Amino acid sequence: MLDAARRLIMPSARSDVPPFMVMDVMAAAARIEAAGGRVIHMEVGQPAAPAPSTAIAAARAALAAGRIGYTATLGIPSLRARIARHYADAYGVPVDPARVIVTTGSSGGFILAFLALFEPGDRVAVALPGYPPYRHILTALGCEPVPIETTQATRWTITPEMLIAAHRRAPLKGVLIGSPANPTGTMMAAEALRDLIEVAEGEGMRFISDEIYHGLDYAFAAETAARLSDNAVIINSFSKYFCMTGWRIGWMVVPEPLIRPIERLQGNLAISVPTLSQIAAQAAFDGRAEMEAVKHGYEENRRILLDGLPKAGLDKILPVDGAFYLYADVSRFADDSFAFAKRMLEETHVAATPGVDFDPLRGRHFVRFCYAGSAAEMHEAVERIGAWLR
C-alpha cells in the first residue's frame, strides 16, 4: 500500500537528468553579493548587452498596438522570410523560407529536432567537452547520447575517423556538433565540417549543426551546414549574437520532409512561439551595426584574456576561435576544477564554471570563463586571478 502511494509521487526515471552546475556557482556568487562583495561574473554564457534598440522599439510598438495573439505554428511568415534572407546575406547561401522554422530559443529547436529525427533508443553522437543539455535532452526523450572525447590532436572536434569508430562499435542514428563550441570556443574549419557531414550522411546518420554562436567568430569565418547539405538540420538562435537570451527565440533550417512533422509537433507542444519575441527578432536584423559593436567588445575582451591569463598563470588554453568562452586547463593548480572555481570565487570574487558540467571526466581539469562582460571587468579579473595564483 505504502509502495503504491509512493509510486504516485515518484518522478519518472527519464526526468532524472543532471542539473547545470553553473547554477550552483551563480548561487554562491549571489551569496557573496548579498554580503556586499563585488563579483565579476564570468560563469554564465550570456551577453551583458541588451537586445538591439530596433528589436526593443518593435516590441514596444507591438505592445502599444494592443492584442498579442498566437501566430502561425512555424512562425510569422515575414520573420521566416527575413531569416532565409540572412543566409543569402551572411553566407551567400540561398535558403527557401519554407524550410525555416521559428522556435522557442535553440533549446526548443533541439526538442523538435530530436523528436522529428529519432526514435526512443536511437544513439546520437555528441562531442565531449560539450554543451550538457545536448546529452540531457536526448536522455529525457529516451534517446542515447554517445559522447565522443575530442582532443587537442583533432582540434577539439569530432573527426570522421572518430565518428566511424563509434558507429562501428554500435550504430549511430545521428551526430550533433556545435561550432563555435561551448565550452571551448573552438571552431571547426569549413573543410572539417564538410568531411564530417559527408561521412555521417554516407553512413545514413542525421546531421544536426548547432550554429548558435555564428556571428561571433574571430579566428576565421564560421561555415554553415546549410551550404554543405540540404539534409542537415541547422539550429540557431537570437540569444547570443543578437543578445536576446531572455526573449527565448531561435530558429531551425530543416530538410523539406521534416517541415510538416515539426509543424505538427510544435503545434501540439507549444501552439506557437511567443509573438512579441518574433516581432522583436525580425527587427533585430536591422540592428546589426549595434551588434557588431558588441562583437568588437568581445574581441577586445578576448585579446585582454589571451594576453593576461597566461601571465597570470593560466597558460593552457584551448583555441579561442569564437563564441565568448575561454576553456583553461587548471590542473597545474588543482586536481578538481570544482574546488578550484569555488576557491577562486571565494578568494578573488571571480566566478567561472567548472568543466565537469561539460565533460564529467576530463572537465575536472578545466574551467570555463565567459568574456561577454566589459573590458574593465576583464582587466580586473586578470589582475585578481594573477595576484591569487602568485
> Where do contacts with ligand PLP occur on this chain (CB under 6 A)?
45, 105-107, 131, 178, 182, 210, 212, 237, 239, 245, 250
55 vs 334 by CB, closer to ligand PLP: 55
Residue 212 or 344: which CB sits closer to ligand PLP?
212
Residue 146 bridge partners (DSSP): 125
Task: Select from 178, 253, 254 the least CA-distant residue to 223.
Answer: 178
Which DSSP helix (H) or strand (E) runs through 368?
A: strand 366-370
Smaller CB distance to ligand PLP: residue 59 or 235?
235
Q: Which is nearer to ligand PLP, 117 or 382 (CB)?
A: 117
Residue 107, classed as helix, strand or coil, is helix
Judged on CB neighbours under 10 Å (0-12, 13-18, 19+), 152 is exposed
Nearer to ligand PLP, 209 or 229 (CB): 209
Q: How far is the CB of 357 from ligand PLP (least distance, A)?
A: 11
CA distances from 54 to 241, 244, 364 (A): 14, 12, 42
If we measure between CA atoms, which residue out of 226, 110, 227, 224 comes closest to residue 174? 110
How far is CA 5 from each of CA 1, 11, 14, 255, 374, rounded to the nearest angstrom?
A: 6, 13, 20, 47, 53
38 grid coordinates: 563585488
Distance CA 385, CA 68 (A): 48
Angle made by CA atoms 209, 211, 217, in degrees to the nearest 5: 135
- Name the residue nearer to ligand PLP (CB basis): 55 or 382: 55
- Between residues 212 and 262, which has the closer beta carbon with respect to ligand PLP? 212
**Which is nearer to ligand PLP, 71 or 277 (by Cβ)?**
277
Instruction: Name the residue nearer to ligand PLP (CB basis): 49 or 212.
Output: 212
Contact 52, 287 (CB under 8 A): yes
User: Rounded distance, CA 358 to CA 362, Å?
Assistant: 9
CB of 68 to ligand PLP, least distance (A): 21
List phi, psi (to 5°) of 333: -110, -25
Grid coordinates belonging to 77: 511568415
Smallest gap from Cβ 199 to ligand PLP, in A, equals: 22
Q: What's the closest the beta carbon of residue 236 comes to ligand PLP, in angstroms?
A: 8
Question: Closest approach of Cβ 338 to ligand PLP, in Å?
Answer: 20
Q: State how far the Cα of 175 lies from the Cα of 157, in Å rounded to an integer.
A: 12
Q: Return the C-alpha cell found at 246.
A: 531572455
CB of 192 to ligand PLP, least distance (A): 18
Gap between the Cα atoms of 163 and 167, Å rounded: 6
User: Shortest Cβ distance from residue 159 to ligand PLP (Å)?
Assistant: 20
Using Cβ positions, the residue closest to ligand PLP within the complex turns out to be: 105
- Shortest Cβ 131–ligand PLP spacing (Å): 4
**Nearest to ligand PLP of 108, 287 (CB atom):** 108
Backbone angles phi, psi at 280, to 5 degrees: -65, -40
Three-class secondary structure of residue 327 per DSSP? strand
N-terminal to C-terminal alpha carbon distance within the chain: 62
CB 6, min distance to ligand PLP, A: 35
